[in-house]
Copies of this chain bind each other. A is one copy, B any other.
Amino acid sequence: MENFTFYSPTYFVFGKETEHEAGKQVKRFGGSRVLIHYGGGSVIRSGLLDRVKKSLKEEGLTYVELGGVQPNPRSGLVYEGIDLCKKEGIDFVLAVGGGSSIDSAKAIAAGAVYEGDFWDYYRGKPVEKALPIGTVLTIAAAGSEGSPDSVITREEGMYKRGASGEAFRPKFSILNPELTQTLPAYQTAAGITDIMAHLLERYFTTTKEVEVTDRVIEGLLLTMVHEAPRVIEDPDNYDARANIMWAGMLAHNNCCGVGRVQDWSSHKIEHELSAVYDCAHGAGLAVVFPAWMTYNMHHDVMRFAKLAVRVWGCQMDFDHPEVTAKAGIEALRRFLISIGMPSNFAELGAKEEDIPKMAHTACYGDGGCGTIGGFAKLTREDVESIYRLMF
Chain A interface residues (CB < 8 Å from chain B)? 1-16, 18, 177, 208-213, 215-216, 218-220, 222-223, 226-227, 238-240, 242-244, 246-247, 250, 255, 258-259
Contact = CB atoms under 8 A, between A and B. Distances in A.
* Oligomer: number of copies: 2
12 contacts: A3-B16, A4-B12, A4-B15, A5-B11, A7-B12, A8-B8, A209-B240, A211-B223, A211-B243, A212-B220, A215-B220, A246-B258
Contacts of A177: 1
A246 B218 contact: no
Contacts of A226: 211
A25 to B, nearest CB: 10
A215 B211 contact: no
Contact of A250 (B10, B212, B244): B212
Contacts of A223: 211-212, 215
Given A9-B9, A255-B255, A215 B209 contact: no
Given A18-B3, A219-B219, A243 B12 contact: no
- 9 closest A-B pairs (Cβ-Cβ)? A3-B15, A209-B239, A219-B219, A215-B219, A9-B9, A1-B242, A212-B243, A6-B12, A212-B223
A1 B241 CA distance: 10
A256 B160 CA distance: 34
Contacts of A1: 15, 177, 238-239, 242-243, 246
B212 A14 contact: no
Contacts of A222: 215
A14 B9 contact: no
> Max chain B CB contacts within 10 Å: which of A177, A215, A239?
A215
A4 B13 CA distance: 6
Contacts of A247: 212
